[in-house]
Amino acid sequence: MSAAQKMARLIPQPTGQQSEEMVHISSFARVRNGDEILLVKKNKPDFTAGKWVFPSSIINFGEDPRLAMERIVKEQLGTAPTSVKLLDVQSYGDKHWDLCFVYEVTIDRVGKLSSDIDMAAYFGRRKLPPEFRSDHLEVLEGLDKAKEFSRI
């Protein structure tokens, strides 16, 4: 099965047992400055420490994805977005399934970063840092595919 054809297999569990499967619903911000995209370098939690990622986070239960994106930008980048536009909804995974709402976000400036972020910087598409998380690269490649598809 190709990556584009992966499907979540959520298996019901007997009462009292925890499933190995999990679902994350997230909002991702693609903030651009010309041809460059803004990435943030995380210092925690441990599994993301030292990695560059899109400004992003899991959505709180019951939270609207667009409002979550506004919250995430304020919390992580220390500034309110001036515009938020849905670009794509992507789905990845097997036992760990991610549903990602990807937004084009405009900001006037980067403010005071949240305590779990070391720094923020803009990168050209061909000069992404080697520490760019592979799952976030998958989101970026999904945007490339969506862009190609929209030209057809």
Domain boundaries, the chain: 21-150
Q: In which element (H, E) is residue 104 found? A: strand 96-106
Q: How far is CA 128 from the centre of its chain?
A: 15
Q: Which residue has the tokens 């992966």?
A: 6
61, 52 Cβ separation under 8 angstroms: no
d(Cα 125, Cα 33) in Å, to the nearest integer? 12
Note the pLDDT tens digit of each residue in 12-39.
Answer: 556 776 666 778 899 999 999 999 999 9
Q: What is the pTM of this model?
A: 0.82
Helices (H), the chain: 65-77, 134-150
Of 86, 29, 85, the C-alpha closest to 55 is 29
* Burial profile 7-31: b = 16 or more Cβ within 10 angstroms, e = fewer: ebeeeeeeeeeeeeeeeebbbbbbb
Q: Can you tell me whether residue 10 is helix, strand or coil? A: coil
Q: Which residues are within 8 A (CB) of 89 and not within 5 positions of it... i.e. 6 or more apart?
A: 99, 100, 101, 102
Q: What is the pLDDT of residues 95-127, one digit of tens each?
A: 778 899 999 999 999 999 999 999 999 999 899
Report pLDDT digits (tens) over 51-81: 999 999 999 999 999 999 999 999 999 999 9
Which CATH code fits 21-150? 3.90.79.10
Whole-Å CA distances, 68 to 1, 18, 62, 120, 149: 32, 27, 10, 20, 27
Kind plus residue range of the DSSP H or E element containing 30:
strand 22-33
Q: What pLDDT, on a 0 to 100 scale, did the predictor assign at position 114?
A: 97
